[in-house]
Amino acid sequence: MKQKPIIIGVAGGTGSGKTTVAKEIFHQFSEKSIVLIEQDAYYKDQSHLSFEDRLNTNYDHPLAFDNELLMKHLQMLLDGESIEVPVYDYAQHTRSDTVIPVFPKDVIILEGILILEDKRLRDLMDIKVFVDTDADIRILRRLARDIQDRGRTLDSVVEQYTTVVRPMHLQFIEPTKRYADIIIPEGGQNRVAIDLMATKIRSIVEAQSFLTKKQ
């Protein structure tokens, strides 16, 4: 009998370093059967809306995500089936026509700002991680990312942060910290916490492999 995949959820606010943590864990298991899935890929399709309406999308609200599709895909991976992960087009504010095939793996890392907000997602996770970073560091990282990678202006990023991102963080993201099994301060800079996480994951994988062989 094939062992059931384990799911590690890595959550945290925008600019917290959660993506860095998820990728660091991923690279520590490069020799293993592992896949990284980003919640950002599961923003809802908005092709039915006008471009002007799409511009008003609040990407930091739980309703922005297609958790139904994400849940379906995670269950398919748990059942040993392959999936097609959507690709989001931030320039058009909707899904592109491109999909990325993903095959079943022994370890699934799910990363995103609101993955701990939905109980159905939490219930699928074997380990729940929250990356906790000070707000002033997060806004600086958000500024750098949006200006360099997404062509935004300084004023537009600051306005979005103060009117949408920060309120949404306080209302929806910060409260999910209480669901975490592990809280990692300062994100990708915390090598000790990342190494401890990798050790824990490895022990779970090895234990499951041992039980599978006994069966």
What the chain holds in terms of domains, given with CATH numbers, is 6-209 (3.40.50.300)
Label residue 194 by pLDDT band (50, 70, 90): confident
Higher per-residue confidence, 152 vs 101: 101
What pLDDT does residue 191 have? 85
pLDDT digits (tens, 9 = 90+) for 182-192: 999 877 678 88
Distance (Å, whole) CA 82 – CA 139: 37
Higher per-residue confidence, 131 vs 200: 131
Distance (Å, whole) CA 170 – CA 48: 30
The burial of 150, by beta-carbon neighbours within 10 Å (0-12 exposed, 13-18 middle, 19 or more buried), is given as exposed
CA distances from 54 to 14, 18, 160 (A): 20, 26, 15
Q: For residue 30, what are its two tokens?
A: 């490069």
| Model confidence at 1: pLDDT above 60 | no
Q: What is the dihedral of CA 173, 185, 203, 3, to 10 degrees?
A: 20
